[in-house]
Amino acid sequence: MDSGRKNRVCVLGAGVIGLSTAVRILEDQPDTPPGQVEVTVVADRFSPHTTSDGSGGFWEPYNLGDTPQQSIRQWGDATWEHLHQLATCPDTAAAVGAQFVSGYTLCDTDTVQDPSFKDRVLGYRYLTAQELRLFPFARWGYFHTTLQINVKSYLPWLMTRFKSLGGRTEVKTVHNLSEVAEEYDVVVNSCGPRAGALVSDPHTLPIRGQTRRIRAPWVKHFYICDSSDGNICYALPLGDIVVVGGTAQRGNAKEEVDAADSEEMWSRATSLFPILKGGEKVSEWAGLRPGRTSVRLETEIVKTKTNSLPVIHNYGHGGAGVTLHWGCAAEAAHLVRHALLHPAPHSRL
């Protein structure tokens, strides 16, 4: 590492993955004198316009393809501990809407299959016969307590934390890594749905999601339907607001709200969970989850016209960005530190 100047790191993407990674790069540099690493978040969208802003902020591994269970557990556990700290501190709990939330997951088949996260969440148990009678479509199900944040509050909180550490931001659309190769020593690719296109990754695809937010302060539990037909239906309470979803349309890159999807989604949700019927519509949202065959978290040395650029890939989290973000950010920060301490051959570092 050149001690004569600051080492410049660019994080592409300002969603929950990119922003948490930027924070951890600045916080997790034990081998680097304070202020020697300069981090800039470069993105064409910042909160409240990111895909993460549309999330229900719910901790539960989801839509992760072939990602190894050991990795999911490692990243998810680290994120759980982080969210647990936020939810149990009065100041941060209020700032980011962190809370414990309990509820029901209902399954319409006789096959009992415990989720991989059953030992991490609190109070996991099967539903009683009396509880199942509340949901005529369900054959079995489980109840548990998990963690949740208001991402619309959490992203600004992370941004404040990032800037307090000296972080910088730039509004820019990057189409090719050569556009940043001259200016930065290391680049983190956390562009969400665009991350794969940036590096011609054939294993990525957008997964379109659509949700409706309703005002329904009487809904205190979450409800998730794990349906055998693959359709998604959930209701996640967030204060007086309930996030109702949703869709998971693989390969659909349409970001606008679709009226037909909205009607079908609402009809299904109120049919399964009639308690939602009195809810007042507040807003609707559509966005693209960053789908991939598995989460990509690794270092690649990319040859550009002028140098060898260390690129830390941290993308492809599907519907589990909130669930894995803090653990993935820690690993990405470690890879950044390694790249700074051990420059690639033929690099200008």
Element (H, E) at 19: helix 16-27
Asked whether residue 194 is marked as a ligand-binding residue, the answer is: no
Backbone angles phi, psi at 213, to 5 degrees: -105, 130
Asked whether residue 174 is marked as a ligand-binding residue, the answer is: yes
Asked whether residue 319 is marked as a ligand-binding residue, the answer is: yes
Element (H, E) at 308: strand 308-315
Closest listed residue to residue 222, CA positions, set 250, 241, 208, 197: 241
Q: What does R_g of the chain's alpha carbons equal in angstroms? A: 21
Spell 141-170 as b/e; 16+ CB within 10 A means b: bbbbebbbbbbbbbbbbbbebbeebebebe
Asked whether residue 167 is marked as a ligand-binding residue, the answer is: no
Asked whether residue 212 is marked as a ligand-binding residue, the answer is: no
d(CA 30, CA 50): 31
Asked whether residue 44 is marked as a ligand-binding residue, the answer is: yes
Asked whether residue 318 is marked as a ligand-binding residue, the answer is: yes
Asked whether residue 161 is marked as a ligand-binding residue, the answer is: no
Asked whether residue 108 is marked as a ligand-binding residue, the answer is: no
Asked whether residue 322 is marked as a ligand-binding residue, the answer is: yes
Angle at 85 between CA 211 and CA 95, to 5 degrees: 55
Helix axis angle for 16-27 and 321-341, nearest 10°, is 40
Asked whether residue 321 is marked as a ligand-binding residue, the answer is: yes
Measure Cα distances from 95 to 90, 149, 152, 304, 331 in Å.
Answer: 9, 10, 11, 42, 26
Asked whether residue 18 is marked as a ligand-binding residue, the answer is: no
Annotated binding-site members for D-dopa: 234, 289, 319
Annotated binding site for FAD: 44-45, 51-52, 174, 318-323
**Annotated binding site: which residue ranges?**
44-45, 51-52, 174, 234, 289, 318-323
